[in-house]
């Protein structure tokens, strides 16, 4: 199945893009999508402990299962205001 | 003119009169307006300008959540939050918050709560351009379900 990955701020800079498509095996969770990104962009691993994730624009957990067509976002620590 | 929305993410300059106009003023005795401005220095660096980016769909949900949380804590307070994104120069407002209430104490507290929660849970990032370089500012790991963070924001708001 295919999911859309959204990256923001420094994560986007590291990957060189804010949006990419990933093929994931059926039954994959958010953590698996993140791991596959880290394989391609090892610098992302520094964010392992500090990122949040969202599925279809709603905060989620790394253990959440993903479905075909989902939008998975990885969010570095926020700094609004 | 149409009534401005209570929560807004916009690339346009913020208008503190418009955010007050977003709130129903019936029975109101106090309005606290908070503006967050782009400061010319940060951690010893001379700041030239900032660029804000956001995950808009989730950022709007975050602002709506903060409004709902504030309503739960201060039922008589009406809260509006407008956040600007894109490039901003020194002195420009990046965020505007208006809290209207029958009495001043709740208006001040709710506006303070809102800015603390924005910094905790809303997916917006500032990219600082300073003399000699640029850096993404990274604050809190966003987790709306983190009860300790919410308690801390309430503690600061009610101090």
Sign of CA dihedral A15, A19, A21, A27: positive
pLDDT in tens, A40-78: 999 999 999 999 999 999 999 999 999 999 999 999 999
Measured from the Cβ of residue B102, the count of other Cβ atoms closer than 10 Å reads 12
Query: CATH number of the domain that A29 lies in?
Result: 3.10.20.30
Contact at CB, A54 and B55, closer than 8 angstroms: yes
Query: CATH number of the domain that B147 lies in?
Result: 3.90.1170.40
- Is A80 part of a structural domain of the chain? no
- Is A49 part of a structural domain of the chain? yes
Supply the DSSP symbol for B77. -
- Is B1 part of a structural domain of the chain? no
Cβ–Cβ contact B43 with A under 8 A: no
Q: How sure is the predictor about B23, in pLDDT bands with cuts at 50, 70 and 90? A: very high
CB-based burial label for A36 (10 Å; 0-12, 13-18, 19+): middle
CB contacts of A54 in chain B (<8 Å) are 55, 58, 123
Residue B1 pLDDT greater than 80, yes or no: no
- Is A81 part of a structural domain of the chain? no
Range of the domain at A44: 2-75
Which residues sit opposite A19 in a β-bridge?
A6
Residue B88 pLDDT greater than 90, yes or no: yes
Supply the DSSP symbol for A76. P
The two structure tokens encoding residue A4 = 């859309």
CB contacts of A77 in chain B (<8 Å) are 138-142
The closest alpha carbon to B18, from B98, B92, B106, belongs to: B98
Number of domains in chain A: 1
Edge-to-edge order in the sheet of strand B30-37:
B7-10, B78-84, B93-101, B30-37
Give the strand pairing for B7-10 and B78-84. parallel
Contact at CB, A76 and B125, closer than 8 angstroms: yes
CB contacts of B144 in chain A (<8 Å) are 59
Contact at CB, A75 and B142, closer than 8 angstroms: yes
**Model's pTM, two decimal places?**
0.96
B144 in helix, strand or coil? coil
Range of the domain at B43: 7-158
Cβ–Cβ contact B107 with A under 8 A: no
Average pLDDT in the B120-143 region? Answer: 97
A59 in helix, strand or coil? strand
């Amino acid at each position: 199945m295919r999911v859309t990955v959204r990256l923001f701020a420094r994560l986007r800079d590291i990957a060189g893009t804010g949006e990419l498509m990933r093929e994931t095996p059926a039954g994959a969770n958010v953590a698996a999508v993140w791991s596959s990104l880290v394989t391609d962009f090892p610098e992302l691993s520094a964010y392992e402990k500090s990122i949040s994730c969202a599925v279809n624009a709603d905060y989620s957990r790394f253990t959440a299962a993903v479905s075909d067509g989902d939008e998975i976002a990885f969010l570095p620590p926020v700094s609004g205001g | 003119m149409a009534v401005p929305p209570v929560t807004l993410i916009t690339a346009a300059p913020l208008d503190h009169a418009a955010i007050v106009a977003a709130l129903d003023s019936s029975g109101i005795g106090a309005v606290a307006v908070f503006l967050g401005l782009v400061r010319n220095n940060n951690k010893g660096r001379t700041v030239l300008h900032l660029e804000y980016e956001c995950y808009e769909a989730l950022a709007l949900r975050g602002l709506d959540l903060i409004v709902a949380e504030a309503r739960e804590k201060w039922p008589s307070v009406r809260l509006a939050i407008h956040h600007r994104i894109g490039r901003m120069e020194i002195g420009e407002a990046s965020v505007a918050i208006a809290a209207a209430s029958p009495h001043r104490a709740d208006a001040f507290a709710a506006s303070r709560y809102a800015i603390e929660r924005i910094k905790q849970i809303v997916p917006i990032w500032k990219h600082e351009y300073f003399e000699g370089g640029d850096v993404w500012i990274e604050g809190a790991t966003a987790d709306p379900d983190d009860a300790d963070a919410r308690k801390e924001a309430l503690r600061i708001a009610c101090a």
